[in-house]
Amino acid sequence: MTMEFTDRVTRVEPSATLAISALATELEADGADVVDLSVGEPDFPTPRNITDAGQDAMDAGHTGYTTSAGILELREAIADKLADDGLDHTADEIIVTPGAKQALYEIVQALIQDGDEVVLLDPAWVSYEAMVKMAGGDLTRVDLSDADFQLEPALDDLAEAVSDETELLVVNSPSNPTGAVYSDAALEGVRDLAVEHDITVISDEIYKEITYGVEPTSLGTLEGMAERTVTVNGFSKAYSMTGWRLGYFAGPKDLIDQAGKLHSHSVSSAVNFVQHAGVEALENTDEAVEEMTEAFEERRDLVVDLLDEHDVDVAVPEGAFYMMLPVDDDDQAWCEGAIEDAHVATVPGSAFGTPGYARISYAASAERLEEGIERLAEEGYL
């Protein structure tokens, strides 16, 4: 039997980051020692108070279905967190999802249909493109690489890219894959264009709690943006809860109502006891988040210094735990060679819409980071 598959799935490619990670796992299974700098996953265990809260919730019997949008206690805790960020949302304007990726998928599916224009800021996280394509949308991309991945110097390019036909703009600050944190002036420029052209904006703030000496602004706090911004965040990165799969989005009530249909008919709800652990994460884990962020900053500085020793200049990230390493024009071949020859896993920049770079994650121990850079240099990749 030959199955015929839909255009919406055949028009997208598998996740490049997960594909590289799979190759690294395959090499490790064959006995190779691979320094995996490809996946954006903190190497810290989930803080103990969170795991205890999850276990306590299971012991208390919180293992059944919840309200589709999420337990009220968590949505109220999220609303309080958003209020601390300057955003005004009630619990009924929030949907809790199994991961922030699911939140983004539901938003795109609710807003985009065949032929709708979506604007991305390159380099852009790999799954944005796939989500838009699966919804039938058309992509317009704005390259920030010539501006050290900052948005403010590229506002004129963004102005040329958007129009009254633009349905959606995705802004990710701090950025995956660059670690760039966009300035207030940049976000105000986004606001002006969004208001002028009546554009809905996704503000993906999954790395908002991981910054180094800068305080990122939530786009929805700017005048004129509350009614047109959908704020996305989650627990995977800041709280080292990648496998727990817990995220959320907040936005105008009419969007929540429509996206809630997709949510209820697909995933039903996020896992019950995980949601209870999420409450604990938001309310009692600030100190652990600060400690992990300090460690990421030390690792960032270490990698920047190590690369500088090999005369490699990079745009220094202000948040998240990634940086873009300039490589050969054929970044795919460079990354394949790096893992085969040096056994160091990275992700080609072309996967993010920016060829000529490789993304490295410094969410790894200092020892492994030093080993990875040393191997790349020894094999002639720096």
Task: Spell out the SS3 assignment of the chain.
Answer: CCCCCCHHHHCCCCCHHHHHHHHHHHHHHCCCCCEECCCCCCCCCCCHHHHHHHHHHHHCCCCCCCCCCCCHHHHHHHHHHHHHCCCCCCHHHEEEECCHHHHHHHHHHHHCCCCCEEEEEECCCHHHHHHHHHHCCEEEEEECHHHCCCCHHHHHHHHHHCCCCEEEEEEECCCCCCCCCCCHHHHHHHHHHHHHHCCEEEEECCCCCCECCCCCCCHHHCCCCHHHEEEEEECCCCCCCHHHCCEEEECCHHHHHHHHHHHHHHCCCCCHHHHHHHHHHHHHCHHHHHHHHHHHHHHHHHHHHHHHHCCCCCCCCCECCEEEEECCCCHHHHHHHHHHHHCEECEEHHHHCCCCEEEEECCCCHHHHHHHHHHHHHCCCC
Strand partners, 200: 168
Rg (CA), the chain: 20
The residue among 99, 81, 112 whose CA lies nearest residue 200 is 112
The closest alpha carbon to 207, from 363, 367, 19, 45, belongs to 363
Pick from 111, 77, 67: nearest CA to 230: 111
Residue 60 CA: distances (Å) to CA of 57, 150, 213, 273, 381? 5, 48, 41, 9, 53
Q: Is a pLDDT exceeding 80 seen at residue 233?
A: yes
Which CATH number is 5-44+284-377 given? Answer: 3.90.1150.10
Beta bridge partners of 170: 202
Q: Can you tell me which residue has the tokens 């920016």?
A: 354
User: Which of 11-20, 121-130, 260-269 shows the lowest mean pLDDT across its residues?
Assistant: 11-20
Strand partners, 336: none
Report the pLDDT averaged over residues 337-348. 95
pLDDT digits (tens, 9 = 90+) for 149-178: 999 999 999 999 999 999 999 999 999 999
Q: Domains of the chain: which residue ranges? A: 5-44+284-377, 63-282
Q: What pLDDT was estimated at residue 250? A: 98
What whole-number distance in Å separates Cα of residue 165 and Cα of residue 140?
11
- Residue 14, pLDDT > 90, answer no
Residues 236 and 101: beta-carbon distance below 8 Å: no
- CATH fold of 63-282 reads Aspartate Aminotransferase; domain 2 (3.40.640)
- Per-residue pLDDT band for 40 (boundaries 50, 70, 90) equals confident
pLDDT band at 25 (very low <50, low <70, confident <90, very high): confident
**% of the chain at pLDDT higher than 90:** 94
Please state the rounded mean pLDDT for residues 67-81: 98
Q: How confident is the model at residue 62 (pLDDT cuts 50, 70, 90)?
A: very high
Distance (Å, rounded) from C-alpha 320 to C-alpha 241? 15
Residue owning tokens 């490049």: 16
* pLDDT of amino acid 96: 98
pLDDT score, position 241: 98
| Residue in 12, 17, 2, 7 with CA at minimum distance from that of residue 361 | 17
Q: pLDDT value at position 15?
A: 77
Residue 10, pLDDT above cutoff 80:
yes
Give the model's pLDDT for residue 136. 97
pLDDT confidence band for 198 (50 / 70 / 90): very high
